[in-house]
Copies of this chain bind each other. A is one copy, B any other.
Amino acid sequence: MKKKITVLPGDGIGPEVMKGALQVLEGVAARFGHEFQTTEKRFGGTAIDQDGKPLPDDTLETCKNSDAVLLGAVGGPKWDSQTVRPEQGLLALRKELNVFANLRPVTVFPGLENLSPLKSNRVKGADFVFVRELTGGIYFSEPKTRDEKHAVDTLSYTREEITRIIEKAYELARVRRKKVTSVDKANVLETSKLWREIVEETAKKYSDVETEHLLVDYAAMRMISSPSSFDVVVTENMFGDILSDEASVIPGSLGMMPSASISQKGPGLYEPIHGSAPDIAGSGKANPIGMILSTAMMLRHSFKLEKEAAAVELAVFETLQAGYRTQDIYDGTGNLVSTKEMVNQIHFRM
């Protein structure tokens, strides 16, 4: 198989974790006989510095013309106080690529339960995935206005926007443990009432999948008190932003968590959920696993290379089992290694 990948290393630790992921990807190509053609482009803070905007036209064009996009991380204190901010590039890229479904797995690795801020018996076996609507809702709806005295945001959703994300969740549940938890605030929001209606309709088409509705406030509680009660969690953009970040605390290391943002047919966008961590950039301390597992998600979701994706995941798992730890997941036992050494160990197990 031959695929074109746009590579956006971004800011902070972005370039170093990206380098690691590309090394592992070369391992996949060699072992399974694929050809991955990568083109690197500027994005985020570095693009603001050099091109005056976070998403240069040329970068966007290249992304659109590729089969998938890998993104490291964007942002940093340097750009925090500027009017043009790296995140604007991210929001624009999502919208332009129409990647309406954001998938964020939350997995507690067996043997790494002790990293969690939660008691080990609570998190054991927790393994679920968020399906967050990513290109609609209050992030993008108009009107959005502000003056000295008054500000307005709008939360709007169409039936189509809701239907496609809900269907994505049910499709995913079918290849998992067959349970969908839909999160809304139907006791207050009109958009949530429409959302719940559409979930009910869709549920009928997927009668092999169990459906439950949770109010967002209760979901925020149960996420912590009973994380292993979830399989697929589907929700709108803003609730998904808050809950998926909340849930990312559960495994105890942000550094290992991947994400995928996919569209109906164009290229998907794959990025670790951690930030650009400028404080450790260049020090060899970054955990490359989040970026590597994002690459595995690309293989699975954009290229339908399930075997290859599973091979990468297995290599990561075995490397962790063998005791290799970057600093963020090191608790005094095991083998403390640099970003580079962690990548080598994973690559070696491919």
Using a CB–CB distance below 8 Å, which chain A residues touch chain B?
85, 87, 91, 117-119, 122, 138-139, 141, 144-146, 148-159, 185, 187-191, 193-195, 216-218, 220-221, 223-225, 238-239, 241-243, 245-246, 248-249
Q: Nearest Cβ distance between residue A290 and chain B, in whole angstroms?
A: 15
Q: How far is the CA of A218 from the CA of B159 in the complex (A)?
A: 30
The 7 A-B residue pairs whose C-beta atoms are closest, nearest first, are: A220-B246, A217-B245, A151-B194, A146-B190, A152-B156, A153-B155, A151-B191
B158, B187, B248: the one contacting A87 at CB < 8 Å is B187
Contact B152 A159 (CB under 8 A): no
Residues of B within 8 A of A217 (CB): 241-242, 245
A216 CA / B191 CA spacing, docked (Å):
21
Beta-carbon contact of A243 and B224 below 8 Å: no
Q: Are B155 and A138 in contact (CB under 8 A)?
A: yes
* Min distance, Cβ A249 to any Cβ of chain B, angstroms: 5
Tell which of B85, B119, B151, B239 touches A157, judged by Cβ atoms closer than 8 Å: B151
- Interchain CA distance A195-B153 in the complex, whole Å: 13
Given contacts A117-B225, A241-B216, A245-B221, contact A150 B159 (CB under 8 A): yes
Which of B156, B195, B221, B239 contacts A249, CB < 8 Å? B221
Q: Which of B117, B145, B158, B221 contacts A149 (CB 8 A)?
A: B158
A248→B239 CA distance, assembly (Å):
18
Complex CA gap A150/B138 in Å reads 14
Residue of B nearest to A162 (CB): B151
* A118 surroundings in chain B (CB, below 8 A): 117-119, 224
CB distance from A251 to the nearest CB of B (A): 11
In the bound complex, what is the Cα–Cα distance between A122 and B120 (angstroms)? Answer: 13
Within 8 Å by CB of A151, from B150, B156, B249, lies B156
Max count, chain B CB within 10 A of own CB: residue among A117, A153, A193, A245: A153
